[in-house]
Structure 1
């Protein structure tokens, strides 16, 4: 069994039930009018920088157990326009409604994804930029201090990249000595080591590319803030949530990788959005 799932099933199952009930009641009220049964949406999970789809393992298992079709998107981490175009291609193969869930930089990707079948966006400690904003600009330490995603923790390397002229690109990644304490301080050492082994580097230009028209202007969105985040300051998350998901925002005591450390809470808000 992967270290992502070790010693979690009972805790996730018990806590998940209570958190799902609490968030659903808190966001939508205790009662709702009866309506015809509709097909469940497909939930597409979009990872961010310095991670891959394996981080969604526990969340995906919970959503699948709840009866939802679940897919993951292998995010290239090349830039919002390029990545969202590939995501839209994947969405074109899905029949019926879709719920998009983005973590971290994955939020910038779902923000730039425009598909008529998307009925909800869910941001998990994620970027939710307005048109013209970009990741590095949002992380301005003068406005929202607190991010520890800085050198020497943040390192650069040259990588092969067929998506750009010349076939080479400059990518950023988190150096191993800093990964646990910055990206996922609230998981055990074995889990952090597994996450580091699955780390995908992100193109430097992905942090500098201006965002297009935000999908959250037309698609109802939810936001789960990580209150102990060392990558995206919680104050910045609250600001973005106030624009993208007013009235549909929750906060938990978690680090940046809440999808791994708190899959119960992450699954709860996704289920709330999917069932709305």
Structure 2
């Protein structure tokens, strides 16, 4: 343990950007907790985890990594960094080492998200096209943010950041929760990641679990105080 307050690094998931943490950042800073919310490239598990790890490596002192959704997979890998002292999963995937998100999700019934993805293409460095996905704009409110104001969800739907499809098949090169303490918030009304997937991963990781039964996938936006409280618990536990 450390006697220095860790910096909280918030890692957003697919179909969103770091602004999804705005309420959580306000809550944490109101309690004197240092926070950083870097952009997530959303180009693939290995590359994105490396980017998060590079951010963490440039922070002086201990870090609590927080991942929402796909961001949970990234903190699982990047959390192996020496100065990471805790992991917090928010409506997130919690993969094991050598496990892909497709394999983890495949253990359980598909969420509504699976039938409402729209495929796009983008050019790779070699000039060949690769596939990325977004959520169908009409389905976005019910799939991603059913407990967020409609006028807000319309903006979120139009401003989605796509995820490279390859992210679902790449395997995690590490599982930091094997050696680092973890916490998890389960969104009980999530239609993007089956809540059973969240519960399974959290249980396997031995995480301290809080569940919000009526929360959507966008729980960081709809319930920032509760999300910040769980993160604060992790900060206190790792600052002793």
Name the TM-score, length of structure 1 as normaliser: 0.81
Is 1:185 the counterpart of 2:146? The answer is yes
Is 1:92 the counterpart of 2:53? The answer is no
Question: For the residues of structure 2 that align with 1:117 and 1:125, how far apart are their CA atoms?
Answer: 24
1:252 to 208, 212, 235: 212
Structure 2 unaligned residues grouped into runs of 5+: none
**Corresponding pairs, count:** 235
Q: Which consecutive aligned stretches of 4+ in structure 1 deviate over 6 angstroms post-superposition?
A: none
**Structure 1 residues 2-30: Cα deviation after superposition (integer angstroms, max 9, x where no partner):** xxxxxxxxxxxxxxxxxxxxxxxxxxxxx
Shift of 1:188: 1.1
**1:101 counterpart residue number:** 66
Is 1:64 the counterpart of 2:29? The answer is yes
| Equivalent residues in 2 for 1:176-255, closer than 5 Å | 176-246=137-207, 248-253=208-213, 254-255=215-216
SS in 1 for 2:177: helix
Question: For the residues of structure 1 that align with 2:123 and 2:32, how far apart are their CA atoms?
Answer: 39
**2:81 counterpart residue number:** 115
Question: For the residues of structure 1 that align with 2:23 and 2:206, how far apart are their CA atoms?
Answer: 24
1:129 to 84, 88, 95: 95
Aligned Cα RMSD in Å?
1.6
Does the CA-based 8 Å contact 1:46-1:103 persist in structure 2?
yes
SS in 2 for 1:250: strand
Does the CA-based 8 Å contact 2:137-2:158 persist in structure 1?
no
Shift of 1:80: 1.5
**2:3 counterpart residue number:** 38
**1:270 counterpart residue number:** 231
- Name the stretch that deviates more: 114-123 or 192-201: 192-201
SS in 2 for 1:127: coil
| Larger-gyration structure (1/2) | 1
- Name the stretch that deviates more: 122-131 or 230-239: 230-239
Shift of 1:146: 4.8
Is 1:76 the counterpart of 2:76? The answer is no
